[in-house]
Amino acid sequence: MKNLLDVVKDCDNFPYAEDTDSTYEQLQNSLWKFYIPEDPRPHGLLIDYVVETMPWTADFRVIPAPKKEVHLRRPEDADWQEKCTQIIERQAELAREKGVFPKLGKTRYEQFPIVGANFPVGIDRSFFSYLGTIGRGVHMTVYTRTESGLKFWIPQRHPNKVTYGGMLDNTVAGGMALGEQPLECLIREASEEAGMSEELIRKSVRAAGTVTWVTISDERTGGQTGLINPGVLYVYDLEVDSDMVFKPVDDDVYAFHLMDTRQVKEAMLNGQFKPASASVLVDFFVRHGIITAEDEEDYEEIVSRLHRKLPLPTRSH
């Protein structure tokens, strides 16, 4: 990648309407919108391949014209809202049984929410990207101050991981489960991935906003390519003492590296970071004055693309 704008675009790679050389209109018109019962707003963006390949059950209504839409029908039961999660789960299992999506992973037994839904609806972590719903997670950057400047604790993902294997990541990163709040998720992930105590997180962590994007999946995800994946990350900063050392505590992390600002920037430009994690670090650099308008000609576009308005609702109405 040539510059930091390219780093951000690597994550936020869905075209913009105003791009002069963009295929925005063609791509936008090719997408199917996913709806849940009793809500007029779409909650997912599906590609042709998924809609045409999916062995849809009678619980779904596929409408090819005048607009391309997939509707989850309202169940007849009194507890129809709870049934919606079960219906999506059955749909995913049917797709697995028939083997229609070779790269659809095993059930993870971790429910991600349909963000912005008017009632709780869960999708198994392995399946939510096929429906093009918003992914939501937390990322924390841990850093320390030294005489030579800031240094960052950067984990390297295990090379055997299917998704972004061997790539660099944020110190703590993870997806938010159904019903989970951001800080609650951060505390859980910090314990699981870095052995950090709840007391330390609650006492010292600083909430620093969000980073958002819309990405088109590629081979680095280890799954189906071409899927539309909008995302929002709740971003946190944590400054630690220089004598604190991080070591892997689970199989997801291969090693922790203590890297200075120059090394982090070089690794981003070399494409060594998971794309979303690189964007979070660019956001950190902006907020801490490491990147400024005076020394970065693409400053305005970088900042804008780190906070893209998502094409799907992020809250219930």
CA atoms within 13 A on the CB side of 81: 8
Confidence (pLDDT) at 217: 96
Q: Write down which residue in 84, 108, 131 finishes a domain.
A: 131
Statement: residue 21 has pLDDT above 90? no
140 and 43 in a common domain = no
Statement: residue 16 has pLDDT above 80? yes
According to DSSP, the residues that pair with 260 across neighbouring strands are: 151
Domain that holds residue 78: 24-131
Q: Is residue 168 part of a domain?
A: yes
CA atoms within 13 A on the CB side of 117: 25
182 and 100 in a common domain = no
Q: Is residue 44 part of a domain?
A: yes
- List the one residue out of 88, 99, 165 whose CA is nearest residue 127: 88
Using the 8-state DSSP alphabet, how is residue 66 labeled? Answer: S
Q: Is residue 316 part of a domain?
A: no
207 and 99 in a common domain = no
Q: Is residue 311 part of a domain?
A: no
d(CA 312, CA 268): 29
255 and 197 in a common domain = yes
Confidence (pLDDT) at 103: 94
251 and 169 in a common domain = yes
Q: Is residue 192 part of a domain?
A: yes
Tokens of 89: 């789960």
pLDDT over 90, % of the chain: 92
d(CA 254, CA 157): 5
Give the count of beta carbons closer than 10 Å to the beta carbon of residue 253.
Answer: 20
Model confidence over 272-309: pLDDT tens digits?
999 999 999 999 999 999 999 999 999 999 999 999 99
d(CA 8, CA 16): 14
Q: Is residue 256 part of a domain?
A: yes
The answer for 222, left when phi > 0, alpha when psi is -120 to 50, beta otherwise, is left
**Nearby residues of 303 by Cβ (< 8 Å), 6 or more positions away:** 286
Domain count, the chain: 2
pTM of the model as a whole: 0.95
pLDDT over 70, % of the chain: 99
CATH of the domain at 223: 3.90.79.10
CATH of the domain at 121: 3.30.750
- List the one residue out of 242, 252, 249, 244 whose CA is nearest residue 191: 249
144 and 127 in a common domain = no
Model confidence over 169-194: pLDDT tens digits?
999 999 999 999 999 999 999 999 99
Confidence (pLDDT) at 155: 97
Alpha helices in the chain (DSSP H): 4-11, 24-30, 48-53, 80-98, 182-194, 198-204, 261-269, 275-287, 299-305
